[in-house]
Structure 1
């Protein structure tokens, strides 16, 4: 915070003290508009330059994270370049873990809205009764637990971009309200009666076939047409395997920098092993495996056998129940952590709790924290799943996209 001290006294001692406690300028009466403007103008310029610098850094980061030289990723970059400045709605399709949020952020950062906020919301991570509050906000007393008024994501994204991830899991009721905002540019908080105008670009993403969802009565056709002005498909990792060596290098460099660990090299022979795997979890799964190797390998170089061993453990770790076997048939739960069957001095109930918590966490991660799909896979009620998540302190980490 830049502070300008104004005083009626031309006192060097006072001026010195105010500067010592953090004031940036000291001006004395008589005060004029010109004097005030000349005092604050340097700070405004510094703030503007700082903001522009942050925008440029964000743009560099967003594009830099899209690692690869394949035809598929080059085509994706060109699509982003073409659509970014248009201001049109974008619907991003792709499997879990392919980086749909990264694409949405890149579109935002290359658009005229880059100076404003990019607000993400995972529609699958919230129960139906909370998603409307998240989107539109609420007034105090609007429902049980609404102890204070709160802005919704549409208001927070005013002037910027709202990214609706996994929009195929949004309820029909919420879909209708989102459509109304798109058509009118107006929002109304739950429990309120004041109409607020917002200027928001919507980018949506899904891993579902929305035309099929429409035919099945699960998604509104009119909302689909509004969102699908410019469709973009993010390719799965198996369709751009030539990018895997670059991605492995990228993740290794960034992860080791963040962990502050001794740098490890990746032996060239290891890349062929990475490329031989199908990667059902896509980039997210690749990043997890690279991180595991950097931590677990005790040498300075990660070799091909290290990668082969890490990949060979994946189905073994997931074969402890029929539920997981069924999920594996659909390419799910590939990264289920190992569960020790017995630890001396540990009660059976505690071991069972640990196993249950690990299974729930793995399922949530594999289904991209989609509560409904996770509950269906685990064959439990959503309310019961929420209770168990609360019991074990399981909460969604920051999304990677």
Structure 2
């Protein structure tokens, strides 16, 4: 979504239309007006709206009819219904048919603006979600390399340059930062893309099998060699050979690998025939290879062969601005794979993800979202759907902010109070406007000394599911 959000206001009462439009324009929304349900549906067929506010009680075509039409034309567009005839039955019917929210007249204009902002944000998330699903379907590997932070943009620029060369590349970074994805991106965008990309995890090959795995063997060359086998280096000839966790290679394995790279050929175990190699080597390590050289645990001459260019990937905690984009991507992918109803993350859940230090980096984030989608039974994930360590981190931060008078805690308290005032003390609606669960709202109120426990008539429930 680009530019100012556009909202359609539908009401057959001119005074109400203009009052709503003025409030929304002052909040920097663009507004179109429709004086009837028929006109609203016609406008919806001509352009895409980011939200619709519609009166329910209108002649001929009602607000519920407008809702039904927009659900068919543009299901991601949130529709908020307005009425002076507030009743439980009407509200239930509106929400069952997919209304984003329901506001009774006379309405508080501050509340209208808050609902509008939430609706527009929700629309943006749903549209981004669908875009990411499409990206994953068309380019499953490339789509995983997501980032708009300065550090990742710099990495992508280097990848583009490396794809045009044959230089050996050493990729360094913590576990889970996406080293193999970067190696594949270099290969996929190079002149070798049509040839094999062969990956080997050096820490998984026993020293006794390293020679056979890398160079291959002929039948009968050793006990257990019941047939001829090509080695991994030979299989990757013409393409790219990726050595993952090369720092875990044993001294004997390092010596044999160095010889093959230097000579540009291999001999299968048990054979005297030399087989020429045409390959590009990309290595990766979570450990600092220069420090291993200093400690005498890695060959310096092999390091020189591997690191013509060194590319260091930043850990996720150093690029928090990429977390929302990555989270939405994994959410879109897992929702599609599991046919789950999840459409978005609530603001409190997203903030918890951003604050968490992610020791397992992108891989850990992927697993967290996959778990949450698998276990959730509602359309919006809240902080309560995240692992306990993330909820604990959120609570610890809240304790810290609550001890800072006049800063974040004070601003947060003031905002919660304003929303409660705008909703007439309705905690269900206040939680929706704040984008948090009622349970989280009760924790806020208890922390500020405003409320200590829910009344018997207000049971604590998870976030209400919002139908997109």
Displacement, 1:62? 3.8
What is the match of residue 123 of structure 1?
Answer: 202
Are residues 296 and 201 of structure 1, via their aligned partners in 2, closer, same or farther at CA, if it must alter by over 3 Å?
same
In structure 2, the residue matched to 1:133 is 212
Contact 1:59 1:106 in 2 (8 A): no
- Matches of 2:332 and 2:201, distance apart in 1: 29
Residue 303 of structure 1, CA deviation = 0.8
1:289 match: secondary structure: helix
- Return the offset for 1:219: 0.7
Match of 2:182 in 1: 103
Contact 2:342 2:381 in 1 (8 A): no
8 Å Cα contact 1:85-1:111 kept in structure 2: yes
Distance across 2 between alignment mates of 1:85 and 1:240: 27
What TM-score do the two structures reach when normalised by structure 2? 0.53
Within a 5 Å distance, the mapping from 1:53-68 to structure 2 comes to: 60-68=139-147
Residue of structure 2 in register with 1:344 after alignment? none
Residue 462 of structure 2 corresponds to: none
Alignment partner of 1:129: what SS? coil
Cα pair distance change 1:306/1:263, threshold 3 Å: closer
Using the alignment, how far apart are the partners of 1:298 and 1:263 within structure 2? 8
CA distance in 2 between counterparts of 1:219 and 1:135 reads 19
Q: Is the 8 A contact 1:273 1:308 kept in 2?
A: no
**What is residue 299 of structure 2 aligned with on the other side?**
220
In the comparison of the two structures, how many residue pairs are matched? 258
- The residue that corresponds to 1:22 in the other structure is none
Counterpart Cα distance in 2 of 1:307 and 1:144: 51
Which is higher, the Rg of structure 1 or of structure 2? Answer: 2
Deviations 1:16-36 (A, max 9, x none): xxxxxxxxxxxxxxxxxxxxx
Matching residue of 2:383: 304
Query: C-alpha separation between the residues in 1 aligned to 2:216 and 2:137?
Result: 27
Q: Deviation at 1:312?
A: 4.6
Query: Which residue does 1:165 correspond to in 2?
Result: 244
Specify every segment of 5 or more residues in structure 2 that has no aligned partner in the other structure, as ranges.
1-135, 394-468
1:275 to 335, 354, 362: 354
Q: Which residue matches 1:392? A: none
CA distance in 1, matches of 2:374, 2:301: 49
Q: Which runs of 5+ in 1 are unaligned?
A: 1-56, 315-401
Structure with the larger RCO, 1 or 2 (CA within 8 Å, 6+ apart)? 1
Q: Distance in 2 between matches of 1:261 and 1:58?
A: 17
What residue in structure 2 maps to residue 293 of structure 1?
372
Cα distance in structure 2, aligned partners of 1:181 and 1:312? 51
Supply the distance in 2 between the matched residues of 1:242 and 1:136 (Cα, whole angstroms). Answer: 44
**Structure 2 residue aligned with 1:262, among 338, 341, 345?**
341
Say which of 315, 322, 346 aligns to 1:236: 315
- Normalising by structure 1, we get a TM-score of 0.62
Matches of 2:157 and 2:137, distance apart in 1: 19
> Is the counterpart of residue 252 in structure 1 residue 331 in structure 2?
yes
Query: What is the CA deviation profile of residues 360-399 of structure 1, one whole-angstrom value per residue up to 9, with x for unaligned ones?
Result: xxxxxxxxxxxxxxxxxxxxxxxxxxxxxxxxxxxxxxxx
Which residue does 2:277 correspond to in 1? 198
Instruction: Find the residue that maps to 1:226 and give its secondary structure.
Output: helix
Shift of 1:299: 1.7
**1:189 maps to which residue?**
268
Deviation at 1:58, TM superposition (A): 11
